[in-house]
Amino acid sequence: MVTEDTRLRIGILGAARIAPAAIVQPAGRNPEVVITAVAARDRSRAELFARKHGIPRSYDSYQALIDAPDLDAVYIPLPNGLHGRWTRAAVQAGKHVLCEKPFTANADEAREIADLADASDRVVMEAFHYRYHPLVSAAEKIIASGELGTLLRVEAALCFPLPKFSDIRYDYDLAGGALMDAGCYAVHMARVLGGENPEVEAAQAKLRGVDIDRAMTAQLRFPSGHTGHIRCSMWSADVLRVGATVIGEHGRMRLINPVLPHLGHLLTVRSESGRRVRRFGNRPSYDYQLDAFASAVLRGEPVPTSPDDAVQTMTVIDAIYQSAGLPLRRPS
């Protein structure tokens, strides 16, 4: 039985825009979790965030929050280039970590953090919230059932408009780029639905500045022979495209809106058994994600978005950047 004294106590590194929906509100609906602190480099911003969301304490130093003895875990929604640094610091301070995607700036940094996590007894989890929604487990079961037949192709896309070019997601020094921000979802979906880690056959970027991709496409090939394609953008002719398609010898499956947490999720299947549509409830995917994180910390349950899984995703992302002729992202 979870009591006030046994709840998972989480601190937030950074008063980020994503934090209320991604963890503050889900924590309010989860009796096993409580948000007890927030840190920002600007103390007034941290204090304002804490007051607005009913968080007891605020800090003007990330390290001070990490070192707090009455915290069990930290949530890291910082810019991409800072993920590895502060995940490392949190694990070294004995904290469990829920880190926003992408896990690190590149695959080498992901391997370093994975090794550190493996050598500890801490839970370190990448926040691919969509992975914890029942939509994905339903899709996996359909693929495993053989209803679609031998896989032929997997396609995944996340495109949305972000015309504010001063946004940190366009900043190379903060490990920005469309592939890092939107594309990591498409890469991860392709990996999950394809069942393997693919090789990158070709990639093409559309640029915003010298080294920043505003859009990216990549052709993939999986070890078992099926092909793949990912598309992502923060500014392109694909104003809004969110979904994934799995094509097999005997059927086709579509995941409609798998990654937007608060909108309706649909799964459509067309096979020799006919056509059907499955609709899912409106419970946010962030809630399922926090459930999984709490269960991992409190009861030792495994999670699919582990550091080792993140290494595989970052390996594909690095290969796409290399194929597109762009430099790898680097830690800030």
* Residue carrying structure tokens 């926040």: 127
For residue 75, the cross-strand partners are 12, 98
Mean pLDDT of the 124-141 span: 97
* pLDDT at residue 221 is higher than 60: yes
Mean pLDDT of the 135-159 span: 98
Cβ density class 206-232: b for 16+ within 10 Å, e for less? eebeebbbbbbbbbbbbeeebbbbbbb
- Express each pLDDT in 207-219 by its tens digit: 998 999 999 999 9
- Express each pLDDT in 301-327 by its tens digit: 999 999 999 999 999 999 999 999 999
- The percent of residues above 90 in pLDDT, for the chain, comes to 94
Mean pLDDT of the 3-11 span: 86
Mean pLDDT of the 256-285 span: 90
- Express each pLDDT in 63-89 by its tens digit: 999 999 999 999 999 999 999 999 999
- The percent of residues above 70 in pLDDT, for the chain, comes to 99
- What pTM was estimated for this model as a whole? 0.96
Which position among 52, 101, 141, 206 bears the catalytic label? 101
209: tokens are: 């500045």
What residue type is assigned to position 98 of the chain?
Answer: L
Tell which wins on pLDDT, 257 or 55: 55
Pairing label, strands 73-76, 96-100: parallel
Amino acid 260: pLDDT: 82
- 52 assigned to active site: no
Confidence of residue 125 (pLDDT cuts 50, 70, 90): very high
Amino acid 1: pLDDT: 54
Amino acid 267: pLDDT: 97
- Express each pLDDT in 165-208 by its tens digit: 999 999 999 999 999 999 999 999 999 999 999 999 999 999 99
Cα gap 39→114, rounded to integer Å: 25
For residue 12, the cross-strand partners are 38, 75
Confidence of residue 264 (pLDDT cuts 50, 70, 90): confident
Mean pLDDT of the 55-60 span: 97
* pLDDT at residue 257 is higher than 80: yes
Amino acid 3: pLDDT: 60
Q: 184-194 vs 307-323: helix axis angle to the nearest 10?
A: 110
- Mean pLDDT, the chain, integer: 96
* pLDDT at residue 14 is higher than 90: yes
* Best CA proximity match to 31, nearest among 281, 302, 291: 291
